[in-house]
Chain A
Amino acid sequence: MPSILVYAELSEGKVATTSLELMTKARDLGDVYAVALGAGAKTAATTLGKHGAKVVHVSEDSAFDDYVAEPATDALASLYEKEKPDLILFAFTPDSREVAGRLAARLGAGLISNAGDVVAKDGGFVAKVPYFGGAKVASMKANGKPAIVLIRPKSFEASAKGGTAEVKQLDVKVGDGSKRAHIAERVVEASEKVKLEEARVVISGGRGMGGPQNFPLLEELANALGGAVGASRAVVDAGWVPYSMQVGQTGKSVRPGVYIAVGISGAMQHTVGMKTSKIIIAINKDAEAPIMKMADLGVVGDALKIVPALTAAVKAKKNG
């Protein structure tokens, strides 16, 4: 039975949902153990046990919360030397990928990033990596050991199966040499009302919105539907809206019940982050836009007229 190590990313002392998604896959592949670092690691171990971890290695050393990537890399490298897992899984998130990158470089291990799935094959692991905007899927085999694979968020559903993990204190001394990139302060700028990744309805705007002054139209529709507002990379790069709203390859991956793409042409960079939405509605003035080819309902028309009318209709329907 292969051994799988899952790097459980903690966010405010809790296991990130993306990490629990990895657990669902990992327990199909072999014996799962996890590592949780920083404040809340011990509590996290309980959660990870419920999701199928046999053993959780924990350390609550504050260095893991206070310094970028290096302390976690030290911990994982030392754990690898002891346990020699066949596969190490990370979520493809900003924090995890920094640790994964350093770890791969330190171990000289092959790394496969941005995977949508991983399967066991011929005693090794093959990762399925969507590219070309998700139109193609490459099967990539990691040569050598360990295989390090980063999985896109929302590739699997997190589900608890019940169970209790054995909690092992990770014996790692984080040296001063790794306490370098110091997180001196955390600033919260905006509290999202509904989290983009968790919203049942996501309304995203692109260049077709005409300018940042029109994004409130999307906000109003989102409020009416209890959804969240996203954006394409083009408008984030143009500075219309913050990066936290970006949906796509380099932004967030979403899988809502309904995704409404407004004024978004549907570049691959964007579609890879939303194509698994259950229903896709596109509003665009260009009938030939790529997004129209993947939408369940494509509406060719003026977004600036349709969106406010839609908001009014939704409100009327709710009140009626």
Chain B
Amino acid sequence: MKIVVTVKQVPDPNSNLTLEADSTISREKEVVLDPGDECGIEEGLQLKEAHGGEVILVSMGPDRAKDAIRKGLSMGADRGVLISDASLAGADALLTARVLAAAIKQEEPDLVICATESYDGSTGMVPPMLAELLGFPQLTFAKKVEVDGSTVKVHRQTADGYQIVEASTPALITVTAAIAEPRYASLKGIMAARSKEIKQVAASELGVEIEGVVEAEARKAGEVIEDDGSAVEKIVQVLAAAKVL
């Protein structure tokens, strides 16, 4: 089974985000492989271990996004493809999906695995667009994936439980963080990743433009008190004033 996992380099969610002069989120500082993608890679590796095949990481990003791919390769993925082009900086979801789709089509995968959404943008629009552009059905919000021959079955998380959704391959899956605990790269894996291939390809029109950015109306800070035993009483007063008590 040929499995493509899409990956993205994002600002480290554990560090404080900063903004560039043009109000885009700075991706200069601490950047990491998107933690959601680590779960996708893990699931891809488990499927490969159970069914054989190959795990290919595909990413769009600047040159240094190779580091994110390298991390996935050290977990055990087989090879990577990075689409880099200065004209793609600031690409919207549709352009991103088009670029990824073009690269993924060349691989003719049985399965494409994406995280439900990225940690930085968090809009989750690329996967359904990608599915449409590839002509694949989409099995989304998966917290469990089973493959039996050419049938893929997922447990699709819903507000009050889950749905069992199935389709034939080729298909696109989006996975939640509940899917699998990502493995740590072993020393052997890290060494092996050094010699694995990361193919860099060059890729421009945007469907959306940013008109301008303004400060949101900030919420004013209220009162901050140290709990000296009277805090509960104070909270009760606030609850009563808000008429919820």
What residues make up the interface of A, taking CB atoms closer than 8 Å to B?
68-70, 73, 94, 97-102, 104-106, 108-114, 126, 130-132, 134-144, 150, 180-192, 200-201, 225-227, 236-237, 239, 243-244, 249-250, 257-258, 260, 268-269, 275, 278-281, 283, 287, 292-302, 305-306, 309-310, 313-314, 317-318
**Residue of A at shortest CB range from B95?**
A110
- B167 and A181 contact, CB distance less than 8 A: yes
- B244 and A181 contact, CB distance less than 8 A: no
Q: A143-B208, A191-B160, A244-B159 are in contact. Are A98 and B138 (CB under 8 A)?
A: yes
Q: Is the interface of A mostly helix, strand, loop or mixed?
A: mixed
**Residue of A at shortest CB range from B234?**
A297
Whether B187 is near chain A, meaning CB under 8 Å from some CB there, is no
Q: A136-B23, A244-B160, A310-B236 are in contact. Are A101 and B227 (CB under 8 A)?
A: no
Nearest Cβ on chain B to A277's Cβ, whole angstroms: 9
Q: A140-B211, A310-B232 are in contact. Are A182 and B224 (CB under 8 A)?
A: no
Q: A68-B139, A183-B165, A185-B163 are in contact. Are A300 and B122 (CB under 8 A)?
A: no
Q: Would you mind naming 12 contact pairs between A and B with Cβ atoms under 8 Å apart?
A: A97-B123, A97-B125, A101-B93, A101-B124, A105-B94, A109-B207, A135-B215, A138-B23, A283-B231, A294-B219, A298-B224, A313-B236
Nearest Cβ on chain B to A100's Cβ, whole angstroms: 7
- A183 and B164 contact, CB distance less than 8 A: yes
**Contact bitstring B150-193, A, C-beta under 8 A = 1, else 0:** 00010011111111111110010000111000000000000000
**Residue of B at shortest CB range from A93?**
B159
Q: Which residues of B contact A98 (CB under 8 A)?
A: 128, 138, 140
How distant is the Cα of A232 from the Cα of B145 in the complex, in angstroms?
25
**Residue of A at shortest CB range from B137?**
A180
**Residue of B at shortest CB range from A126?**
B211
How distant is the Cα of A131 from the Cα of B117 in the complex, in angstroms?
15
Instruction: Select the residue from B126, B128, B233 with max chain A CB neighbours within 10 A.
Output: B128
Q: Which residues of B contact A292 (CB under 8 A)?
A: 221, 224
How distant is the Cα of A192 from the Cα of B116 in the complex, in angstroms?
24
Give the 9 A-B CB pairs with smallest separation, nearest first: A301-B227, A101-B128, A110-B207, A180-B137, A296-B222, A298-B224, A189-B161, A105-B132, A113-B123
- B224 and A142 contact, CB distance less than 8 A: no
- A138 and B210 contact, CB distance less than 8 A: yes
How distant is the Cα of A225 from the Cα of B240 in the complex, in angstroms?
11
How distant is the Cα of A318 from the Cα of B168 in the complex, in angstroms?
57
- A180 and B239 contact, CB distance less than 8 A: no
What residues make up the interface of B, taking CB atoms closer than 8 Å to A?
13, 17, 19, 23, 25, 35, 92-94, 97, 116-117, 122-133, 137-141, 143, 153, 156-168, 171, 176-178, 206-216, 218-219, 221-227, 231-236, 238-240, 242-245
Instruction: Select the residue from A136, A139, A293, A297 with max chain B CB neighbours within 10 A.
Output: A297
Interchain CB contact (< 8 A) of A101 among B125, B137, B164, B208: B125
Q: Which residues of A contact B117 (CB under 8 A)?
A: 250
- A136 and B239 contact, CB distance less than 8 A: no
Q: Which residues of A contact B131 (CB under 8 A)?
A: 69, 101-102
Q: Which residues of B contact A317 (CB under 8 A)?
A: 236, 240, 245
Q: Which residues of B contact A239 (CB under 8 A)?
A: 178
How distant is the Cα of A292 from the Cα of B130 in the complex, in angstroms?
40
Q: A185-B164, A279-B242, A297-B225 are in contact. Are A104 and B235 (CB under 8 A)?
A: no
- A136 and B221 contact, CB distance less than 8 A: no
**Residue of A at shortest CB range from B133?**
A105
- B17 and A293 contact, CB distance less than 8 A: no
How distant is the Cα of A108 from the Cα of B133 in the complex, in angstroms?
10
- A182 and B160 contact, CB distance less than 8 A: no
